[in-house]
Amino acid sequence: MEKRVYNFSAGPAVLPVPAIEEAQRHLLALPGVGSSILEISHRSKTFTHIIEQAEANLRELLAIPSNYHVLFLQGGAQMQFAMAPMNLLHGSGQPADYVLTGSWGKKAMSEAKTQGATRIAFDGAAANYNRVPKQEELDLDPAAAYVHITSNETIGGVQFPSEPDTGNVPIVCDASSDFLSRPVQMERYGILYACAQKNAGPAGVTMVIIRDDLCQRSPSTLPSMLSYKLHAENKSLLNTAPTFPIYMVGLVTSWLLEEVGGLARMHQINRDKAQILYDCIDGSEGFYAVHAEPDSRSIMNVAFRLKDASLEEPFLKEAEKHDLTALKGHRSVGGCRASIYNAMPVEGVKTLSRFMDDFRAKNA
Ligand SMILES: *Cc1c(COP(=O)(O)O)cnc(C)c1O
């Protein structure tokens, strides 16, 4: 068998080995079915059971109340940048508030502008998006249709430690890169959406968890495929669902429930892993520096720089030789980034931290 490296990719990203192994075991034929998951109808009894199990797992992990729908959609998280305003803003006469803590939130707002009025409730641009706002810094409109936040900005490694208070205005949250990494207070959200390829499965499916009253707002003038209401009424089977990604989300969420023991446990493991890297960087006497301010640091994406930028390329090359891969920062900001999602084992983080100490000792 080919060896596996420690893969710090921001997405598509590392998946739990037991989930991949189960998919591999059953790839030629699902037990008792005689066909592969790749070959069966999305309307078959077998797939109905698979999608229902994936939904049940998500409901259990996130304690999703019964007045929320769980949708499995295509088009990625970025489709939701447009779909949320198309369904909630268009024709409402209300504005939408956007909290900008990095490039994903900015992108979400520029898509919303095509559908209605937007307001900036906070913009972290002046400090180069290195932190989330304090509650009192939020300039919220109580008449807004929703407040959009990005719970974890994947590129800058900036994460909300918990949900901001938005009063009676529902939060619409892009949780793509910290979905299932910790418990959430679901009642605080109107919509929580996340593409699968960071923490929940392979690319190709996006989960949209939406409160029923918001789902009912979809204008009837929308094309069917863009209507939350129609997707909910059709239980995500308005058209051919991405069967394999949904199957993988089912396996990954089963792993979280059965082997990890739920999101509180996962959160503790994630915090411990992040602490190892932040301690390594903070203890490096400035050789490495974290982009995010201490109370906004992400436990999923550790974005950092080397003080001497000319050492960055040798750092990445050397890391590669130690089977520590995909540590290059996003092309828009440069630097380095270690994405340490749920499936990154603690041993991977320890190995990276030891490597970083050694590299510093040799190059400081
Ligand atoms: C990866 C990511 C996206 C992009 O998702 P696509 O599925 O490629 O559209 C959006 N938002 C955040 C926070 C992300 O991490």
Q: Are residues 93 and 212 in the same domain?
A: yes
Question: Which whole number is the average pLDDT over 119-142?
Answer: 97
| Last residue within a domain, chosen from 240, 260, 280 | 260
Q: What is the pLDDT of residue 173?
A: 98
State both tokens at 325. Answer: 């891969």
Whether 235 and 140 share a structural domain: yes
- Identify whether residues 141 and 204 lie together within a single domain: yes
With pLDDT > 70 as the criterion, what percentage of the chain qualifies?
A: 100
| Residue nearest atom 3 of ligand 1, based on CA coordinates | 77
In a shared domain, residues 225 and 309: no
Per the DSSP assignment, residues forming a β-bridge with 207 are 72, 194
Atom of ligand 1 nearest to the CA of 152: 13
Average pLDDT over residues 194-201: 98
Cβ–Cβ < 8 Å for 332, 314? no
CATH number, domain of 319, equals: 3.90.1150.10
Is the residue at 1 inside a domain? Answer: no
Task: List, in sequence order, every residue forming a beta bridge with 271; answer none if it has no partner.
Answer: none
What residues are in contact with ligand 1 under a 6 Å CB criterion?
11, 76-78, 104, 150, 154, 174, 176-177, 195, 198
| Phi, psi at 89, each rounded to 5° | -105, -45
Residues 6+ apart with CB under 8 A from 242: 72, 74, 204, 205
- 99, 176, 177, 300: which to mutate for ligand 1, most atoms within 8 A of CB? 176
**Confidence bin at 189 (pLDDT 50/70/90):** very high
Taking only the tens place, the pLDDT of each residue in 209-220 is 999 999 999 999
For residues 41 and 164, state if they share a domain: yes
Q: Residue 59's pLDDT band (boundaries 50, 70, 90)?
A: very high
Of 227, 260, 293, which closes a domain?
260
121-127 CB contacts, 8 Å cutoff, 24+ apart: 121/97, 121/147, 124/100, 124/158, 125/100
Instruction: Tell me what the mean pLDDT of segment 112-116 comes to.
Output: 96
Domain that holds residue 283: 6-16+261-363
Q: What is the mean pLDDT of residues 293-317?
A: 97
pLDDT for res 90:
82
**How much is the average pLDDT of 185-201?**
97
Report pLDDT for 333.
Answer: 82
Dist. CA 31 → ligand 1 center (Å): 34
- Check whether 1 has a pLDDT greater than 80: no
- C-alpha span between 131 and 310 (Å, rounded): 26
CA of 11 to the centre of ligand 1 (A): 8
In contact, 274 and 297? CB cutoff 8 Å: yes
Q: Report the separation in Å between the CA atom of 1 and the middle of ligand 1, taken as the mean of its atom positions.
A: 32
| Last residue of one domain, picked from the residues 220, 245, 260 | 260
Please report, for the domain that includes residue 249, its CATH number. 3.40.640.10
Please tell me the total number of residues recorded for the chain in this structure.
Answer: 364
Residues 159 and 177 in one domain: yes
C-alpha torsion 343→69→176→73, nearest 10: 100
Tokens of 190: 């109107």
Residue-wise pLDDT tens digits, 280-297:
999 999 999 999 999 999
Which residues sit opposite 333 in a β-bridge? Answer: none
Give me the pLDDT at residue 2, please: 86
Q: Tell me the C-alpha distance between 305 and 128, whole Å.
A: 14
Give me the residue label for tokens 């190892």. Answer: 276
**What is the rounded distance in angstroms from the CA atom of residue 128 to the CA atom of residue 205?**
31
Closest residue by Cα to residue 333 from 150, 153, 110: 153
**Which of 72, 195, 331 has most ligand 1 atoms within 8 Å of CB, for mutation?**
195
Q: Verify that 343 and 357 share a domain, yes or no.
A: yes
Percent of the chain clearing pLDDT 90 (strictly above): 97
**298 & 187 share domain:** no
The residues that are catalytic are 104, 174, 198
Residues 101, 249 within the same domain: yes
Q: Does residue 90 lie in a domain region?
A: yes
In a domain? residue 223: yes
pLDDT digits (tens, 9 = 90+) for 327-351: 999 988 889 999 999 999 999 999 9
**Is a pLDDT exceeding 80 seen at residue 310?**
yes
Q: Is 307 inside any structural domain?
A: yes
d(Cα 205, Cα 73) in Å, to the nearest integer? 6
Do residues 34 and 178 share a domain? Answer: yes
| pLDDT for the residue 331 | 84
* Phi, psi of 204, deg, nearest 5: 125, -10
The model's pLDDT over 224-244, given as tens digits with 9 standing for 90+, comes to 999 999 999 999 999 999 999
pLDDT of residue 334: 85
Same domain, 271 and 236: no
Per-residue pLDDT tens digits for 17-57: 999 999 999 999 999 999 999 999 999 999 999 999 999 99
State in Å: Cα 337 to ligand 1 middle.
16
Residue 309: band (very low, low, confident or very high) from pLDDT cuts 50, 70, 90:
very high
Q: Are residues 91 and 130 in the same domain?
A: yes
| Closest residue by CA, ligand 1 atom 8 | 76
Tell me the three state secondary structure of residue 176. coil
In a domain, 50, yes or no: yes
Rg (CA), the chain: 21
pTM score of the predicted model: 0.98
What pLDDT digit, counting tens, does each position of 270-279 carry? 999 999 999 9
